Each structure stands twice: as structure tokens, then as C-alpha cells.
Amino acid sequence: MYRYDTFDQQLVNERVAAFRDQTRRYLAGRITDDEFRALRLRNGLYLQRFAPMLRISIPYGLLSSRQMRCLAHIARRYDKDYGHFTTRQNIQFNWPKLEETPDILAELAEVEMHAIQTSGNAVRNITTDPLAGVAKDEWVDPRPYCEITRQWASFHPEFNFLPRKFKIAFSASTTDRAATMVHDIGVHIVRNARGEIGYTVYVGGGLGRTPMIGHKIREFLPEADLLSYCEAILRVYNRLGRRDNIHKARIKILVKALGPAQFAEQVEAEWKQIKDTPLKLERKDLDYFRAFFQPHPYEAKADDDATFTPALESDASFATWIRHNTREHRVPGYRIVFISLKARGVAPGDCTSAQMDALAGLADLYSFGEIRTTHDQNLVLADVKQADLYALWQALTPLHLATPNIGTLTDLICCPGLDFCSLANAGSIGIAQELSERFDKLDYLYDLGELQIKMSGCMNGCGHHSVGHIGVLGVDKEGEEWYQLTLGGSASNDAALGDRLGPAIARDRVVEAITRLVETYLAQRQEDERFLDTYRRVGLEPFKQNVYDTNH
């Protein structure tokens, strides 16, 4: 993985010192609220419902075991012994003290971590495929490109006060596992007919109040021009994006207002002026970053092992876990292991300090000391030898990290909602828990197959509800918690926004309504059709009838 050189370390240290000084001056009454808000947001610090919330950046979701141990330590020392992994592959702490945040940032800096631009109207954490470097369908490792872009965007002097937050995601494989179509910029790293690497660029996708699917504005951008093209997009957006209304300030609104073709033209005109500047990447620059992401020293004959198959045959629970929580690795004899953070009775994405410490140890033992975070709030040990899988599973089980539900209904995404977030209309964690109780029979769950439920506590859509196969959105009805359901969304290659099912549903009927949606699917499906495919075939009507039919 990427390691800081003295430049990176110096920049992060200087940032910590600057923020310590800002916090001191704020507490001394020498910085106004407006000013401090602008500053703390660039360091991931929100002032929330009960306490400040600190969001720490995990660049493109990659963590070392040492960094994970530091997060465990921070949870223990400054928080209530747990952290919350987010849909942006970051981690949040919900209970730090404002005056302690400079100390937390200083401790993070020691392990090459920070909270830079994890909030505020700036370029946020760059995200990518959680299976980067190990997926079989990948044509090039996207992480060197992510790191180059991360550095370009960090402390960018021109783009620190954009109209609104700005999210960039990279994908470089057949299956889009990075939800690139719902990002401000989605970059697909591709090869052209001549075998040259380049980028197909999408802009103006996004979730939230006005969800939109991104528009392609460039078919093939040469590899050397990544940064100048991004700079051109950001400059056009910084100049022309709306600032009068927070709900109309994202780039998607600008792209829609100008039309994608006109927007693309403006970007192209701006880009022509800056493409032949020092922003141009040379082969050496890319090589520098690629060197950090070389394949691990995999064992040549890892598949030549006599223990794995007998273990599968003799232990049905292990076999179930393998089937649901692991995926094929590009190297024979290795598997990709998903760590489910969706155990029953736990808020999705929550992880205790004991679990973090244990995972760090397991990563050291079995997965080259690396851990990844996913945008559906799970973790991944990406490089586990098949001979080690049984021992790993045995270690994960008592930690409640081996719930075999990856990709199923109970592997749902939800934002912090009313329990923590000051913007929420309604709770989401409680519903998540009721659902995992209602659907706790594994055989039934497996029979349902791939089914994503995504929940947000308000229109901001941090829980990505608009791209859930079933989306759940909290709305406020005269001070009561109600929920709007949507069907048919997806953030993958077949990206689509969910359709509104009908009128909002009261809190005490939501779980029942979701159960009926599932029953409708079972009644309608043909052969082993997925929920999404059944929905796309039969449409909204049968689902709607079943949910709103009160004579049920």
C-alpha cells in the first residue's frame, strides 16, 4: 500500500499544527463561528446532535494493521470504545471532545492518517473498488490513480471552498463495484484498441435530494491528462455552480442546467488551456505510485493444500460462510474474505475496539497486514490462503465477525439516522435491527438471494437509499417518523434510481411492508431471478398492491 515519504508526513504534520492552533484560537474566542465551521469541516469535525463527530479518512478504503490498531486505540481512549465505518469507506467517531480532536489528529498522523477534507465543500475521500488488485475482472489496478488524485486534491488552494462537497470514484474492472455512476466524477480506467490506458469520464451523478445517474462527458481521456482534466471540471464547477441554494449546489444540478454536452464543451475549452502544463503525468510519475501497489508475495502452490476441501465437507457452517462471505481471488489458492459488520443486534458498520484489534492481528497473520473497507460498510481481508481460511473463520466467529450474510437482505446499508445525526427525520438503525431479527433464518435469507436494502434518515441520502434494490428514506410527518420506500435502484453497471412505491409508511408498519415486498418477489420470481430482475420484469404494481392492501 502507499507509504508516506517525508513530504507527505510533513504536510500532514503541518496540518495538525495548524488545526491545533485554530482550535486554540476558537476556544479563546478569537475565531468566529462561521470561520471555525469552515475550518473544522475541512478536518472532518461536525458538531452533531449529542457531541462532535470526527470523520477520519481511509483513502480508497485501504488500511494497514498498524492503522487499524491506532483506530482501536482512538476508540478506546477518546470515544466509547467503538467506531462506525461509513459508506464512503471512512470511519467516524461519534463521541470525541472538541478540545481533544487536535490530539486525535496528532495520533493519527503518526500512522499516516488524517481527517483532511472528509467533510466541507471540498474534494472528499477518493473511493474505489474494495477488491482493487485482487479481483479477477480487473484490467488495471486503480489505486495508483486514486493516490495521485488524492494528492492533487489535498489542500488544493483553488477548490477548498466549492459550492458543495465533491466526490470522485474510480473503477477499473468489468463490474463497477465503486458506484461510479452516482459520483460527481466517476472515472473508468480503460484501454483503447491500441492497448493504451485512458479514462472514460462521467460527471454529475449523485445521490441525496435530487439523485441522478452520471453523464459520460469523455469517451477516452489519455492517461497523462487525468489531473488537468479534473482541474478543468472543478474550475468550471467552482465558477458556475450554484451557491444560493444548498440543495441545488452539487455539480449534477449544473450539468443538468447546462446540459451534459454544453458542460462537456466548457470543460474541454478550459482543459485545452491547461493540459500542457506541469499537471501532465509522465510514465515515471505513474510508475512511482504503481510501485506501492505491487502484488503481494503470494505462494506459488497455495491451491495445493489438503485441508480446505475436507474442512468444507465436514463443517457445514464453515462451508456456508465460505459460500457467502468469500470470493474468488485472481491467484489460485487464495480467497477474498468479507468481514460482515452486520451481525444481529449491531448497528451496520459499527466495530468495537476489541474487534479492530483482533482484526489487525488476523490481518497480520493471514492477509499481509492489510484490511479494506467497503462502501457497503463491511471489511475485507483480501489475500487469504485457502489453507488458512478455517482458522480465520474460527477466530472470526466468537468476535461476531463471521455472520454469513454478505450480499443478502440483512447485509444492509444504513446511515446513523436519528440516533446520531442532527439532520435526521427518522431513525434507521432501529429498523435495521428489526429487519435482522425478522429475517434471521439463514435458509430463507439465502433463498432470497442478492437483495440490497439501503436506508437514509433524511433526503441527504448518506445511506444511498435511492440506489437500493429496496430503498428506505426517513421523512418527517408532523414530528413523527415515516418512511418512503423505493424499488429497483442499483449503483452497479445497471445503475438506476429506485421508483417510489407509494405514500410514506408509518414507523410501526415499515418492517411489515418490507416483508410484503419480499413475499411479492418470492411469489413472482421465475427460476433463480434476482429481486432486481423480477422487479424490472413485473414492475411496481404487484408490490404496491401487496403493501398497501390493508385487508391482508
Partner 1 sequence: MTQIIRDQRIVTDDWCRLDDAAPLPAAGRVIVSLARWRAETPVLKARGDVGVAIPSELDVAELQDDLPHLPLIALYFVFIQPRPEGGRTFDGRAYSQARVLRERHGFRGEIRATGDVFRDSMFYMHRCGINAFEVKPGQDLDDALNAFKDFTLHYQGAADDPIPLFHRRRQADT
Report the partner that residue 458 touches, choosing among ligand SF4, partner 1, none (CB closer than 5 to 8 A by kind).
Answer: ligand SF4
User: How far is C-alpha 518 from the geometric centre of its chain's CA atoms?
Assistant: 26
The rounded distance, in Å, linking the Cα atoms of 388 and 317 is 16
Three-state DSSP state, 83 = strand
CA dihedral (116, 118, 122, 126) positive or negative? positive
Nearer to ligand SF4, 144 or 427 (CB): 427
The rounded distance, in Å, linking the Cα atoms of 458 and 133 is 35
The only residue of 134, 337, 462, 491 in contact with ligand SF4, by rule CB under 6 A: 462
Report the partner that residue 457 touches, choosing among partner 1, ligand SF4, none (CB closer than 5 to 8 A by kind).
Answer: ligand SF4
CA dihedral (400, 404, 406, 411) positive or negative? negative
Cβ at position 238, least distance to partner 1 in Å: 5
The rounded distance, in Å, linking the Cα atoms of 518 and 331 is 37
Under rule CB under 6 A, residue 154 binds ligand SF4: no
Cβ at position 44, least distance to partner 1 in Å: 15
Q: Taking the C-alpha atoms of 398, 400, 401 and 405 in order, what is their torsion angle to the nearest 10 degrees?
A: 120
Report the partner that residue 192 touches, choosing among partner 1, ligand SF4, none (CB closer than 5 to 8 A by kind).
Answer: none
Q: Which stretch binds ligand SF4 (CB under 6 A): 43-51, 65-73, 120-128, 455-463?
A: 455-463
Nearer to ligand SF4, 404 or 461 (CB): 461
The rounded distance, in Å, linking the Cα atoms of 188 and 172 is 6
The H or E element containing residue 413 is: strand 413-414
Cβ at position 211, least distance to ligand SF4 in Å: 12
Three-state DSSP state, 411 = coil
Report the partner that residue 32 touches, choosing among ligand SF4, partner 1, none (CB closer than 5 to 8 A by kind).
Answer: partner 1
The rounded distance, in Å, linking the Cα atoms of 105 and 109 is 6
Q: Which stretch binds ligand SF4 (CB under 6 A): 280-288, 380-388, 392-400, 450-458?
A: 450-458
Per-residue binding string, ligand SF4, 408-437, x by CB under 6 A, is -------xxx---x-xx-------------
**Complete DSSP assignment for 323-342:** HHHEEE-SSTTEEEEEE---
For 101, residues 6+ apart whose C-beta sits below 8 A from its C-beta are: 19, 23, 43, 45, 52, 54
Other C-beta atoms lying within 10 Å of the C-beta of residue 262: 11
Cβ at position 458, least distance to partner 1 in Å: 12
The one-character DSSP state at 198 is E
Report the partner that residue 424 touches, choosing among ligand SF4, partner 1, none (CB closer than 5 to 8 A by kind).
Answer: ligand SF4
Specify the pairing of strand 379-385 against strand 185-191.
unpaired
Cβ at position 274, least distance to partner 1 in Å: 8
Under rule CB under 6 A, residue 211 binds ligand SF4: no
Using CB under 8 A, list all residues that contact partner 1.
Answer: 5, 7, 10-11, 14-15, 18, 22, 30-32, 34-35, 37-39, 121, 148, 151-152, 154-162, 227, 235, 238-239, 243-247, 249, 273, 277-279, 281-282, 284-285, 288
Under rule CB under 6 A, residue 206 binds ligand SF4: no
The site for ligand SF4 (CB under 6 A) is made up of 415-417, 421, 423-424, 456-458, 460-463
